[in-house]
Amino acid sequence: MSANKQTLFWIGAMAVLLLVVALLREILLPFVFGAAIAYFLDPLADRLEKLGLSRLWATIVIVSIFALFVALGLIFLLPMLVEQLIDLVSRLPGYFQHLRDLAVSSLERWFGDRWSGANPGLDATLKELAGKATGWAGQLLGSVWSGGLAVVNFLALIVITPVVTFYLLLDWDRMMQHISDWLPRDHAATIRKIACEIDEVISGFVRGQITVLAILGVFYVVGLTLIGLKYGLLIGLGAGIISFIPFVGPVVGFVVGGAVAFVQFWPQWPLLAAVLSVFLIGQIIEGNVLSPMIIGDRVRLHPVWLIFALFVFGYLFGFVGMLLAVPAAAAIGVLVRFGLAIYLQSSLYRGGTKAGSKKR
């Protein structure tokens, strides 16, 4: 098969894969989630095998412990999070109204009659913005529920994901060997090299990022709870989880936590400063200690490229796309670097100069 036919074949295969994901995105969530968990736990299964356990028993032990932690979270943690989320959404209109009143009273105190005369329509504008913000929050909550965590999908996650995880983790090494055997013989070594680099980037980022997010989530929850902030568990965990999007987690936590803190603690400035300091310190620790130590520079996923991939895959494939965005971004990055290296060695880049000649 010529090089052009091979290129067309792989482009066609990729197009078919994307089409299948787009068509089946509503039912793929438990399978993608199960595959991600199996990929994450495979190194642990390999270590247990080296200690003398069979692959079957290693899989049983790992999945059982993982399922136990998930069950404990569903029993003890999820009800509190749902309760705080419902209560927070129901109180949002009152919170916005309270913040508006604080802003207006502060401006009137600072500027006196000049404020009322110079800004007659601002009060109505603030009310309109508060109403729109409340409506956006409700729509966002509804879209998340209907698009990513609908009842059917939630039940599928609970029932199907453990089964998928068990069988994929049990057969992971065998599947990887079969895929390796199916590679085109002329390019098998190159493809394996690229696949190893992609695996290194994905594993380094995903496993490292999960560790960072867990530490950040615990730090936010403990800090906000010790201060006494309402919804500290929800806000802290939420800010920790979405911190995989660069800068978004701390900003969201800063805004939401700051708004709740202003309503709850005003005018106690030390408590307000303490709440905001939790997110500021968390961002400093994450950027200067956790990410350099746990993730390091080997991942090479630029924050802008990661945000772009999350938006594109989320838009095209929904919640499933967001799960696939990080590995896809890592794979595309490796392939682009590989293609760029070939281009820099080609006559298309070098022109008439030889590979070993010096530039004049």
Contact criterion met (CB below 8 Å) for 272 and 266? yes
- The rounded mean pLDDT for the chain is 78
> Is-cis flag, bond preceding 79, omega within 30?
no
As a whole number of angstroms, the distance between CA 279 and CA 227 comes to 13
Looking at residue 106, what DSSP letter applies?
H
Model-wide pTM > 0.85 = no
Q: Residues 299-347: pLDDT tens digits?
A: 667 778 878 888 888 888 877 787 788 888 888 888 888 888 888 888 8
The Cα–Cα gap between 111 and 133 comes to 27
Contact at 8 Å (CB) between 275 and 257? yes
* Interatomic CA distance for residues 224 and 279, integer angstroms: 9
What does each C-alpha distance from 196 to 3, 47, 199 come to in angstroms?
23, 19, 5
Rounded CA separation 295/281 (Å) = 19
Each residue's pLDDT tens digit, 198-233: 888 888 777 787 888 889 999 999 999 999 988 888
Residues 291 and 209: their CA atoms lie apart, in Å, by 8
Residues of the chain with pLDDT under 50: 117-118, 143-149, 355-360
Burial (CB count <10 Å: 0-12, 13-18, 19+), residue 203: middle
